[in-house]
């Protein structure tokens, strides 16, 4: 796939160690983005913008993304015969791209590093490598015209005969999620004070327009998949971003969809029976049980698993300015607020036509 839509901020300044927006406007006096929120652009800051008169947040979209998708698909089918029908499909999918497909915008996503967009080539979000789907219908072999009870009385047949069951189910492996931090005070002032001195607050670590500005973490070790109770990822494996020229290029910066979420499965079951009082009146009685095993579906949706949710959100940080050099100071532990729900399997999500909890729906239908 070529020419996929992706976004970037036209005024984003290339990361550097040169302070941007860290003075009170005179280019000399250091500002305080945390408490005083008195940061303003200096003339030198504005001169570094591509469009100095437009300032922060000029998102533009173009067809510069590309992707590759490889899939294997197989299907088993039995057409309805002798009271039984069955269909099952299995798909293996491997899909990678440079253009984020977040599922909530025709514009695509915001590129994390617009200066090297191909560096973000990786696994697409919400793509399960393995997915199995099945459904079927089975006529219970009891009642008139069936294997058992063909000679039962009319009254008995009304009660126990002629019932039909149906089911549908899915099972899929986990999907990828991008860990991210948000900045608490980067937008407090008239001028953005940001790690990397990039000059725009449109930076989006996930690319789904929900957390801006947000940064991808540094990966400290390979122990991030360590499970602890209902927390499937280890937050101690991640650190806040660097604040200088290597904010994007540091080799420890987390890749898109680095984390792998939980797989899940669910089953719906139906039971119903048709009554024919005469040639003109028919009654259908039954029950549909959604998520019959009441199995929690822990795979987060795009709201909970993307930039708008807590599942992959590591927490937030504040940035401070060195009064002597006007440079953004490295993010200290005291300036970090961690999200305790990072990677926790605490919610069940409706998906694939199956409810997030068991639901019983009774059915009575009269046709005349």
Q: What's the CA gap between 124 and 66, in Å, rounded?
A: 12
DSSP 8-state code for residue 118: G
Q: Summarize pLDDT for 242-260 with one digit per residue, the tens.
A: 999 999 999 999 999 999 9
pLDDT at 6: 87
Q: What was the pLDDT predicted at 144?
A: 73
Which pLDDT tens digit goes with each residue over 116-168? 989 999 999 889 999 999 999 999 888 777 777 777 777 777 777 778 999 99
In this prediction, residue 89 has a pLDDT band, given cuts at 50, 70 and 90, of very high
Question: In the 8-state DSSP scheme, what is residue 33?
Answer: T
Q: Supply the pLDDT for residue 54.
A: 92
For 215-240, the DSSP string reads EPPEE--S-TT--BTTB-S-GGGEEP
Query: What's 253's DSSP letter?
Result: B
Q: Tell which wins on pLDDT, 102 or 74.
A: 74
Predicted pLDDT at 260: 95
Q: What is the pLDDT of residue 174?
A: 96
Q: Provide the 3-class DSSP secondary structure of residue 250.
A: coil
Distance, in Å, from the CA atom of 274 to the CA atom of 285, rounded to the nearest integer, reads 7
What is the model's pLDDT at position 171? 98
Confidence at 233, pLDDT banded by 50, 70, 90: very high
pLDDT(99) > 80: no
pTM exceeds 0.75, yes or no: yes
User: Whole-angstrom Cα distance, residue 199 to residue 131?
Assistant: 43
- Band of pLDDT at residue 291, cut at 50, 70 and 90: very high
Q: Report the pLDDT value the prediction gives residue 276, as an integer from 0 to 100.
A: 75
Nearest to 126 by CA among 367, 276, 300, 326: 300
pLDDT at 19: 97
Per DSSP, the residues of 46-106 read: HHTSSSTTT-S--EEEEEEEEEEEEEEEEEEEEEEETTEEEEEEEEEEEEEESS---SS-T
pLDDT digits (tens, 9 = 90+) for 33-54: 999 999 999 999 999 999 999 9
Bridge partners (DSSP) of residue 85 are: 137
Q: Which domain holds residue 119?
A: 2-367
In angstroms, the Cα distances linking 85 to 136, 166, 171 are 5, 9, 20
Residues 6+ apart with CB under 8 A from 81: none
Q: Is the pLDDT of residue 105 over 60?
A: no
Q: What is the mean pLDDT of residues 292-310?
A: 93
Q: Provide the number of structural domains found in the chain.
A: 1
Task: For residue 204, name the pLDDT band (cuts at 50, 70, 90).
Answer: very high
**Model confidence over 182-196: pLDDT tens digits?**
999 999 999 999 999
Q: Which residues contact 31 (CB under 8 A, 6 or more apart)?
A: 22, 23, 24, 38, 39, 40, 189, 191, 193, 321
Q: Which residues pair with 78 in a beta bridge?
A: 86
As a whole number of angstroms, the distance between CA 139 and CA 351 comes to 27
What is the CB-side half-sphere exposure of residue 280 using CA atoms within 13 A?
Answer: 0
pLDDT-derived band at 102, boundaries 50, 70, 90: low
């Amino acid at each position: 796939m070529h020419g996929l839509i992706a976004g970037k901020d036209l005024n984003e300044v290339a990361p550097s160690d040169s302070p941007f927006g860290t003075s009170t406007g005179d280019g000399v006096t250091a500002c305080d983005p945390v408490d005083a929120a008195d940061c303003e652009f200096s003339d030198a800051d504005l001169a570094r913008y591509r469009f100095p008169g437009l300032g922060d947040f000029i998102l533009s979209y173009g067809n510069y993304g590309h992707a590759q998708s490889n899939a294997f698909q197989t299907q088993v089918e039995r057409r309805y015969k002798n009271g039984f029908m069955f269909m099952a499909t299995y798909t293996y999918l491997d899909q990678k791209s440079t253009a984020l497909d977040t599922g909530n915008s025709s514009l695509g996503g915001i590129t994390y590093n617009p200066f090297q967009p191909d560096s973000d080539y990786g696994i697409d979000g919400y793509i399960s490598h393995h997915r199995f789907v099945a459904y079927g219908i089975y006529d219970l072999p009891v009642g008139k015209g069936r294997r058992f009870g063909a000679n039962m009385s009319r009254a008995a047949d009304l009660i126990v005969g002629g019932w039909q069951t149906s089911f549908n189910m899915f099972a899929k492996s986990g999907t990828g999620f991008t860990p991210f931090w948000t900045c608490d005070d980067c937008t407090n002032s008239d001028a953005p004070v940001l790690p990397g001195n990039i000059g725009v607050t449109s930076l989006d670590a996930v690319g789904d327009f929900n957390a801006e500005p947000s940064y991808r973490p540094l990966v400290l070790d390979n122990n991030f998949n360590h499970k602890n109770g209902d927390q499937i990822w280890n937050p101690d494996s991640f650190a806040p971003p660097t604040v200088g020229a290597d904010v994007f290029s540091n080799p420890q910066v987390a890749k898109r969809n680095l984390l792998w979420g939980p797989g899940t499965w669910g089953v719906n079951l139906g039971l119903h029976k048709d009554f024919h009082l005469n040639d003109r009146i028919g009654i259908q009685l039954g029950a549909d049980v959604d998520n019959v095993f009441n199995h929690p579906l822990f795979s987060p949706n795009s709201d909970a698993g993307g930039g708008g949710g807590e599942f992959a959100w590591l927490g937030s940080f504040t940035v401070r300015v060195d009064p002597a050099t006007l440079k953004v100071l490295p993010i200290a532990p005291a300036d970090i607020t961690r999200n305790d729900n990072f990677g926790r399997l605490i919610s069940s999500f409706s998906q694939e036509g199956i409810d997030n909890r068991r639901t019983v729906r009774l059915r009575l239908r009269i046709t005349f």
